[in-house]
Amino acid sequence: MNGAQEILKSRRTIYKFSDKRVDYSELELAFEAADNAPCHKKTYPWKYYVVGRKSREMLLPTVISLCRKKEESKGNVASKQSEARAISKIMDVPVIIAVTTKLTPGDDFREEEDYAATVCSLHNLVLSLWSRGIGSQWSTGGITRHQSTYKNLGISETKERIIGFVKVGYPESIPGEKKVEARKIVEYLP
Ligand SMILES: Cc1cc2nc3c(=O)[nH]c(=O)nc-3n(C[C@H](O)[C@H](O)[C@H](O)COP(=O)(O)O)c2cc1C
């Protein structure tokens, strides 16, 4: 894929990944892009944890319990299929990266700016991958915010906040999500 504009305009969230393995050299390139994001006070608040199979397995008891609770809230009992789907969303994704932003207790503005910088960094990562034909999905599902996830991934809840998991892989299909017309999001003021 050529040209920044084409990369920016064609990127879509990918929900179905093929089995093709993502080489770690591709991740390294994307982390380099992520590391070049703007950051106001040079706090470099972003951190990326590539979640391996063993670590993913540790998340499963909570994944299953969240699935059961979700079904209960709808008046259902979780079926084996819905539990298997929830497990598959963690175990069958080629790469999962937990993204964190630094916390600065007592300084809400610093945390807000740092969150903004981390999102810029995350999107650099996503776009770098996309430029190499690799798709991703930012997920903020219950498992990404659960207390046990911090413990299982060895992330300090007092120092960092998980802003999501980025699921990464080669796209099996690319959704045709349409966007608002650009002219509708801009006003040129006198
Ligand atoms: C902050 C944020 C959180 C998101 N969380 C989820 C999520 O939990 N699950 C999901 O399927 N997609 C999630 N997405 C992806 C959005 O649903 C997706 O970006 C949106 O539908 C627009 O599609 P596009 O990325 O193809 O332009 C998230 C996106 C953002 C920016």
pLDDT in tens, 20-61: 999 999 999 999 999 999 999 999 999 999 999 999 999 999
The whole-number average pLDDT for the span 110-126 is: 98
Please count the other Cβ atoms lying within 10 Å of the Cβ belonging to residue 135.
Answer: 26
Decide: 24 and 95 in contact? Cβ < 8 Å: no
Average pLDDT taken over every residue of the chain: 96
Q: End-to-end alpha-carbon separation of the chain, Å?
A: 38
| Structural domain total, the chain | 1
Q: What are 56-94's pLDDT values in tens digits?
A: 999 999 999 999 999 999 998 889 999 999 999 999 999
| Residue nearest ligand 1's atom 15 by CA | 138
Q: Is residue 100 part of a domain?
A: yes
The whole-number average pLDDT for the span 129-155 is: 98
pLDDT at residue 1 tops 90: no
Q: Is residue 126 part of a domain?
A: yes
| Residue nearest ligand 1's atom 9 by CA | 139
Q: Is residue 11 part of a domain?
A: yes
Q: Is 28 in the pocket of ligand 1 (CB under 6 A)?
A: no
Q: Is residue 31 part of a domain?
A: yes
Give the model's pLDDT for residue 17. Answer: 98
Q: Is 142 in the pocket of ligand 1 (CB under 6 A)?
A: no
**Spacing, Cα 13 to ligand 1 middle (Å):** 7
CATH number for the domain harbouring residue 104: 3.40.109.10
Atom of ligand 1 nearest to the CA of 140: 8
Q: Is residue 120 part of a domain?
A: yes
Q: Which of 70, 71, 69, 64 is nearest to 90 (CA)?
A: 64
Which domain, by its residues, includes 157? 4-53+93-172
**Spacing, Cα 189 to ligand 1 middle (Å):** 31
Q: Is residue 127 part of a domain?
A: yes
Q: Is residue 80 part of a domain?
A: no
Whether the model clears a pTM of 0.85, i.e. scores above it, the answer is yes
Q: Is 139 in the pocket of ligand 1 (CB under 6 A)?
A: yes
Rounded distance, CA 9 to CA 44, Å? 27
- In the chain, the largest separation of any two C-alpha atoms, in whole Å, equals 60
